[in-house]
Amino acid sequence: MSEEQIHNLRNEALSLIMGTTTQEELENLRINYLGRQGKINQATAELKNLPAEKKSVVGKIINDAKVAIENALFAQKEKLSTKDGQTTWFDPTIPSVQPQRGHLHLVTYAIEEISQIFNHLGFVRVRYPEVEWDWFAFESLNMPASHPARDEWETFFVDTKSHPKYGNMVLTPHTSSGQVREMERVKMPPIRMINIAKCYRRQSDVSHVPMFHQFEGLVVDKDISIVHLKGTLDYFARRFFGASRKIRLRPYHFQFTEPSFEVDVSCGVCNGSGCKLCKAGWLELGGAGMVHPNVLTNGGIDPSKFCGFAFGWGVERTFMMKAGIKIDDIRILYNADLRFLKQF
């Protein structure tokens, strides 16, 4: 076979391979060109008839033609198998596209951090029902039916039969509903509870969401005073917000604590001197106070022997007050916008 004939053989094979439409046609071509009786082997067998100086040159051209045909067969096989819907050739050693990694929601991180801080102080984390009876949410907390204080809690009522003893069914408007439940569970003080749970209110604006989280502390023991309350909240503020942050108590009113306070934390941006973010250097955190004797009685605890303190703050608002985090609208925490969530 002359050099020209081998070139023609190679071009003919490549064009036929590219024109195939089934694996069967392709296999026939492979046998025809590369099989034991195939044209490439025939050309190789004829090499012995060539003069010695030509043998190596033609031998190389035959070998090149063989490699080109093999590559073309392989490429066409791939193409046809994709087209036929069969599995394509898969190389498991090629690095894959990395799936995106998510992370826990920032409120979940905040809940974890809050739990750990109170854990250090010996508080036990508990959880009570999100769908609750009126008795635990209001009545046992010194807010009898039709008391005007209830209005502030803008409650969702569940449209179902009321309980003969506990009244209407509601979505928990605050974690204080766990106070009497915890007293009934522990029965005999000391109590050191931290209740972190979802709460629901008919509210939605830049500083309110209809579903939010509160963390509620309750301590009941002998000789508990406001000093214990202030010390506990100070410890929390320093651990959660930073060593330089302080808290202060302002007189307030809640039906279930007496005396009652609003708790403020010093602003992390201006350090208490007053800036755009805060009002005169302080940010409002939530409520607190000394447990009302009626609440202790409703929980089966003798108020002449025991007393205690309680506090209840919003997890979202507390988290937003951490230094360096400025969120203008609380609702952004829950509208699942990845551009926001990925920053944390």
Footprint of ligand FA5 (CB under 6 A): 152, 174, 176, 201, 203, 208-209, 212, 214, 216, 254, 257, 260, 286-289, 310-314, 316-317, 330
Is the Cβ of residue 33 or residue 256 nearer to ligand FA5 in the bound state?
256
CB nearer to ligand FA5: give 55 or 127.
Answer: 127
Point out which residues pair with 158 in neighbouring strands. Answer: 169
CB count in 10 Å sphere of residue 77: 17
> Cβ closer to ligand FA5: 46 or 154?
154
Secondary structure of residue 224 in the 3-state scheme:
coil
Q: With respect to ligand FA5, which residue has the nearer C-beta, 125 or 208? A: 208
Closest CA to 240 of 344, 324, 114: 114
**Nearest distance, CB of residue 330 and ligand FA5, angstroms:** 6
Pairing between strand 124-126 and 191-200? Answer: parallel
- Please say which residue, 38 or 173, places its beta carbon nearer to ligand FA5: 173
Contact 106, 340 (CB under 8 A): no
Q: Count CA atoms closer than 13 A to 10's CA, side-chain side.
A: 18
- Please, which residue, 50 or 149, has the CB nearer to ligand FA5? 149
CB of 205 to ligand FA5, least distance (A): 9
Tokens 């009570």 belong to which residue?
A: 128
CA distances (Å), origin 330, targets 241, 315, 317: 19, 11, 8
Nearer to ligand FA5, 58 or 290 (CB): 290
* Token pair of 50 as six digits: 């060539």
Least distance (Å) between residue 129 CB and ligand FA5: 16
Residue 334: CB partners within 8 Å, gap ≥ 6? 209, 211
Q: Indicate the SS3 state at residue 227.
A: helix
C-alpha to C-alpha distance for 112 and 240, rounded to whole angstroms: 11
- Cα–Cα dist 147/5, whole Å: 106
Tell the smallest beta-carbon distance from residue 214 to ligand FA5 (Å).
5
At its nearest, how many Å lie between ligand FA5 and the CB of residue 158? 18
Which is closer to ligand FA5, CB of 178 or CB of 189?
178
CB of 152 to ligand FA5, least distance (A): 6
Tell whether omega for the bond before 129 is within 30 degrees of 0, i.e. cis.
Answer: no
Measured from the CB atom, the residue of 184 and 284 that comes closer to ligand FA5 is 284
> From CA 138, how far away is CA 128, in angstroms rounded?
15
| Residue 107 token pair | 């409120």
Provide, rounded to whole angstroms, the least separation between the CB of residue 235 and ligand FA5.
17
The CB-of-135 to ligand FA5 minimum distance in angstroms stands at 16
3-state SS, 283-320, equals EEEEEEEEECHHHHHHCCCCCCCCEEEEEEEEHHHHHH
Measured from the CB of residue 203, what is the shortest distance to ligand FA5 in angstroms?
A: 4
Our measurement of the distance from residue 301's CA atom to the centroid of its chain's CA atoms, rounded to an integer in Å, reads 40
